[in-house]
Structure 1
Amino acid sequence: MGIKYEGFHDEEYAFQQFKVLLEEQLGRNLTIIEARKVRWLSGWEHETVGVFFDLIHEVAGKKNEGGL
């Protein structure tokens, strides 16, 4: 069994995953400052990055279901 959030060890992978998720949910490209902050967040410890990614993904899913 792999370590949960193992893919987030790679900062570039984490950044791309966050960027895609956020841009899809926002319906627009991230601004330069937003992308810079997402890149900064992507450099955190992999488990922390994974938890934030999951939280954002969950909120986005609830928004899409009309729950928010």
Structure 2
Amino acid sequence: MRIKYEELNDEEYAFQKFKALLEEQLGRDLTKIEARKIRWLSGWEHETVGVFFDLIHEVAGKKNKGGL
């Protein structure tokens, strides 16, 4: 059985995924401080990172559908 969010075990990979998701949804590049905080968050335990990533992705989906 595959461990949920296992691919987010790599801090650099998690950071790049988070950064791309946020920049896509915001329509702009992250500021230096925003990127620094996302890099910090990406270093957390992979399951925690995955939960935050999924929450952001879900909220972005609702926003795009007019739900928020």
1:18-51 CA-to-partner distances (Å, cap 9, x unmatched) read 0000000000000000000000000000000000
Partner of 2:36: 36
Q: Which runs of 5+ in 1 are unaligned?
A: none
**Aligned letter for 1:27?**
G
Provide the alpha-carbon RMSD of the alignment. 0.4
* TM-score for both structures, normalised by structure 2: 0.99
- C-alpha distance in 2 between matches for 1:2 and 1:21: 23
Could you list the structure 1 runs, at least 4 aligned residues long, displaced by more than 3 angstroms after superposition.
none
Query: For 1:28, what is the secondary structure of its paired residue?
Result: coil
TM-score (norm 1): 0.99
CA distance in 2, matches of 1:66, 1:24: 17
Report what 1:8 is aligned to. Answer: 8
What is the aligned residue count?
68
